Structure 1
Amino acid sequence: MYKFFVYSLLGLLALSACSDEERLESKYPILSFDIGNEPVVLSAKSADMTFAIFYWTRAELVNSSASPEYVLEMDFAGNNFTNAVSLINTNDLSFMPSNSELNQALIDFGVVAGEAVDVEFRIAFSINGQSYTSDNVLSANITPYEIIVSYAKLYVPGDQNSWGFDDANLLYSVFNDGIYEGYLYLDNGDNWNSFKMSYQPNWDSADAIIGDADASGTSGVLQVGNWGGNNVYATDGKGVYYIQADIPGLTYTIYKTDWAMTGDFNSWGFTDMTYNIDTDKWILTADLSAGGFKFIANQDWSKVKGDNELDGILDKGTDENNIKIEEDGNYTITLDLSQAIYTYSVEKN
């Protein structure tokens, strides 16, 4: 079975597995492809089309009749395949990746969408547990495209949007596990805001509507179908609410949030952020000292967000994932909880 995008082992470089005499008498595979020498710009419009046909001659080693397993490797040009990724492991003599497969490999490898990169390909193979690499290397200049991930979502019609359906009022299931969540600004001009949820952006199907199983609208128990039963209520006045709908468990959670920053700059106290209703983001401009910080909701240490990879994407806060400030200065910090993936930015003024 094809196994895509697995980091190759350094053992594939061990040419010492065979003697010089054996290598001269053996036939190592020669790799070819059909894309020529022109730069290639990948496009989502042609994602399902074949990127190229990679094909190679059969490997033959003296004193062995075993069938080889081939690995098509890719690495940045000039890197000598020290950090190569394997595009496929196969017993066949060819491989036809689609544009989307090659694009995904490049993105996973750290190539920035829209930027051209020079990469190299080669064939490695193994026979009887011994690994070898072929000498011939092919080069290509490739520009990948941005991958737009589509997450399962629930629409949230309610008082806050005149019971309509729009992209500003959505809950997402990032892990596609039936658990949806999001942060929504709710305001109906009164203390209580009512809403329901829907799989569809319309009122066409009673089975698509989700609400509260109890007339109170605050039970925390979901009803799926039959028009969702009763409205769900946000009871703490206007503001940004965290909403989670656990469809498999038929439960929901809702509470109002106010976000702050906590870190070395304030001795791990709380410095409030300001919500901008026009941008749907939380913002703080302040003098910060070098060190780490996190975001915290409601001054509740169970509601903390940090960054595992320091890549601008937020994760559940732990002792090990502080966000870094490299030097003292005045900074503008932006917290964006409006999309499926929660992000932040740090800009030195």
Structure 2
Amino acid sequence: MELLLSGIDEILLWRKYSVNSDATSYHFVVSYLQRNGGGNTGYTRSMVNSYLMSDGLPIYASTNYQGDDTYEHIFTDRDGRMGQTILKTGDLLSDDPNFATWIKKSDGYGYFYRPEIFEAQKENSNPTGYCLRKGLNTSGDMQSTKESYTGCPIFRAAEAYLNYIEAYYELNGNLGGNCDKYWKALRARAGMSTDYQKTINNTDISKEKQDWGSYSAGQQINTTLYNIRRERRVELVSEGFRMADLKRWRALDQVKDVHVQGFNFWDSMYQLYTNPQAEDAVTPIPQITLLEYGVTDKTANISAKSDPYAEGKYLLPYRKNAANIGFNGLNWNTSKYLYPISNKQFRLTTAVPGSNEYESSTIYQNPGWSRNDGTLPEGE
């Protein structure tokens, strides 16, 4: 059995998977997504906040934004790609479920109810409360523990458009050429306002500080370039580009003691766990006892509402256990952008080949690294 992508005009290059032949090649992406979009991955608050409203305005510039206290409010009147990317209560997971949180009696299908932020088995958990939907197929043939055979897009026309827009602007400092045509095509397909200039004009870069992509070399960029990056972010999310983009933009210099936030847990979402109310569920959804870090002497299962980094409501995935490597914040060293150039290369290119006069070499070392062998990078 296989699913072909050759009939989709936008797909320029794709990989075929199948469970039919002796040369079987398959994956388990769908299997994990049907377990509530877990796989020990999840979107951060900054990612979700970067999605525009359907009128093209940032959430802080639109009167239509209803907040993030419930899934209904988060998704109301947003960029259509958000609903295609992130799971919300009521979304179909599988037409033949064996791992879904709850099953509606009327049709026997499995639907998403709540993120598995308390799941002990990490491969089935979601750390932030925003679960992956992109790549989900609801076929019971690919239910949890079964092989997945959906085709994988490798290169889409949307990526080509985004590559062109970014490169043209970086080279020329304006949106000439085909930029207008391509950007409007992306917006139109997403079902939102094609007036990207309105987005640019209403972007307050000082309110985009949580988005690492708003920086290059520790400084925030202009609103046009940022919105090109924003468009790329929401279009290509979960397609394996994010870290490569952040490195290419040198967008991680300012990541110093940063505390990642997940969804708004404490305003109302916590009730999905303490008082679950899933109508028509075949079996009751278990209640969860919340044990906040620093509030109880028992082993915590959730970051504290009173945590100074929670703003009184946001889940902090790294702040429920002091042993977590990210408990005191995430940090980035410039040495992690690129690998060091071997000391041998400097010896071969000094004014006197083989000497230790590395300053006379015709090549230079990558940022954060020394020319000397056996030395640690800066900041380590």
Same fold (TM > 0.5)? no
Bigger proportion of residues as strand: 1
Q: Which TM-score band applies after superposition, normalised by the shorter structure?
A: under 0.3
The TM-score, its normalising length taken from structure 2, stands at 0.23
TM normalised by structure 1 equals: 0.24
Higher helix share: 2
- Larger RCO (alpha carbons 8 Å, 6+ apart): 2
